[in-house]
Amino acid sequence: MHAKIAKNLGIFKPMINDVAYIGSYPSVTKIPSNAMPQYAFVGRSNVGKSSLINMLTDRKALARVSKQPGKTQMINLFAVDNAWCLVDLPGYGYAKQSKKMRNSWNKMVRNYLLGSNQLQLVFCLIDSNIPLQTNDLEFINWMGSNQVPFAIVYTKIDRVRKSKRPSQIPSIRRSLLEYWEKLPPEFQASAITKQGRDAILNYIADLSSAQMKK
């Protein structure tokens, strides 16, 4: 009986009621421990990470916190509905990034990805409007070699020209498939149209509840 009722219930749109800034940390060892699963967002600078985070959480300027001077190179944590942690990682590939900055990014982000016990999944953002960049590929392949679980989010999907829609994502996928036998979960997102919001949030909810049942 219940199964029949459940079938007819449909699916709620995911809602977020509360987002609280936890803090900004220079290294994984400084992050205060809590039981919440962590979901990290990372990508090349300008990929649309702040816009995506604001869109997902329905907060106009949440990710602005992470853009304040001194915090762009930090690991920024937010508690979502007291259920999971959104981890805003610093972006890579700034045009003006010095070698020293690149090294410190590598150290901080890679140590976090390898060292956080709470990390469930990384959402790696890729701009759907341009070909796959070398630094995206290097980072993704590094996650693969180190068995860091990740999903791909193709950002700014609204901006892909109509004529290019059939070929743009397949061409990025082809570049990845030169190195990968099978791709991880993929999402297409737009901060403008909110495409991808429900799929990403439902995916996080599913993973978190599967984790709790373990």
Binding site for ligand GDP (CB under 6 A): 43, 45-51, 91, 155-156, 158-159, 190-192
Contact between 38 and 47 (Cβ < 8 Å): no
Closest approach, Cβ 75 to ligand GDP, in A, equals 15
Closest approach, Cβ 5 to ligand GDP, in A, equals 38
Closest approach, Cβ 142 to ligand GDP, in A, equals 19
CA–CA gap between residue 54 and residue 126 (Å, rounded): 17
Nearer to ligand GDP, 45 or 208 (CB): 45
Using the structure block, give the residue that is written with the tokens 């803090």. Answer: 23
Nearer to ligand GDP, 190 or 207 (CB): 190
Contact between 150 and 124 (Cβ < 8 Å): yes
Closest approach, Cβ 95 to ligand GDP, in A, equals 12
Nearer to ligand GDP, 54 or 202 (CB): 54
For the stretch 62-65, contacts whose Cβ atoms lie closer than 8 Å and that sit 24 or more positions apart, written own/partner, are 62/19, 63/88, 65/21, 65/24
Tokens of 188: 């297409």
Q: Which residue type is seen at 195?
A: Q
Nearer to ligand GDP, 57 or 155 (CB): 155
Nearer to ligand GDP, 25 or 48 (CB): 48
Closest approach, Cβ 193 to ligand GDP, in A, equals 8
DSSP E strands in 156-197: the ranges are 186-188
Using DSSP, state whether 167 is helix, strand or coil.
Answer: helix
